[in-house]
Amino acid sequence: MTNNSRLDLAVFLGWFSLGIGALEIVAPAALSRRLQLPIGSKVVQGFGIREIMTGLLLLRAPASPAGPYARIAGDILDLAVLGLAISRSERHRGAALAATASVVGVSILDLVCTSSLSGRNTPVLLGMRQST
């Protein structure tokens, strides 16, 4: 991955975080209701603040692996809450599963970004050995 593409990915993830964070702050009740999240609107807004702070970190210092590491920590928290929603609601399970798939997809981008910015090889980070 070239240096420019590393930075482009970090900047993309920064803007993505800002967008998700804004949605969580502006429409927390709608998100909670649609996904049947086992947390209140204020907690969803807290998630939004976390996303915005992470997005700002990524945009301010795109060459630092700190932003993608923060995103990965947030992804873990998001997946835990979505897992509870999936196990809790038959009616809205499809929406929670779609949201989970989206988080997993973006988590892969977060892992790629983190590993490239920290100088690691992505396959090694994901547990696969690279042939020499």
pLDDT of the residue at 89: 67
Instruction: Give the residue extent of every domain in the chain.
Output: 3-124
Q: Return the pLDDT at 79.
A: 96
pLDDT band per the 50, 70, 90 thresholds, residue 4: confident
For the record, the structure tokens of 11 come out as 């900047």
Render pLDDT for 20-48 as a digit per residue (tens, 0 to 9): 999 999 999 999 998 888 899 999 999 99
* DSSP secondary structure letters along 32-86: HHHHT-SS-HHHHHHHHHHHHHHHHHHHH-TT-THHHHHHHHHHHHHHHHHHHHH
DSSP state of 131: P
